[in-house]
Amino acid sequence: MGMLDHKNSNNTEKQSLKRGPQVVVKEQVARNNIVTDSETVTLPVNIRVDNHIRNQISALLNLGYGTSQKELVKNLVDKTIEELPENEKIRFEKMYTILEQKDAFKNI
């Protein structure tokens, strides 16, 4: 029970801790002041495909549908996005924005 005795060796009560001044927020910062839609990061990444898809990309490049694999894939993605119904385009833009923000936060 000695550990529960809150008196020091002189049998006087221990003084309670003195707390510092109350912390008050002077200016609240809104999330929109920190995160902007214009923050983008470009990183090199790889997409795994099988040999058949790779060969199809190479054949399209040989036919002149692009100057690089990157350009060809970008054109195909853009074409797919253009063909989306309006409600799917809205969903796509929201998902795309979230993923872009995630990349930006990872590389801050």
Q: Tell how far CA 93 is from the center of its chain.
A: 15
How far is 108 from 104, CA to CA, in rounded Å?
Answer: 6
How far is 80 from 53, CA to CA, in rounded Å?
Answer: 17
How far is 19 from 37, CA to CA, in rounded Å?
Answer: 42
**Residue 39, pLDDT score:** 64
Integer angstrom CA distances of residue 50 from 15, 41, 45, 81, 97: 73, 27, 16, 23, 28
pLDDT at 2 over 60: no
Tally helices (H) and strands (E) across the chain. 4, 0
Segment 37-89, tens digit of pLDDT: 556 788 889 999 999 999 999 999 999 999 999 999 999 999 999 999 999 99
**Residue 40, pLDDT score:** 76
Mean pLDDT, range 16-42, rounded to an integer: 76
Contact 82, 74 (CB under 8 A): no
The reported pTM is: 0.60
Q: Which residues are 13's β-sheet partners?
A: 7
Average pLDDT, whole number, for the chain?
Answer: 85
**Residue 37, pLDDT score:** 55
**Residue 9, pLDDT score:** 59
How far is 95 from 102, CA to CA, in rounded Å?
Answer: 11
**Residue 60, pLDDT score:** 96
**Residue 42, pLDDT score:** 87
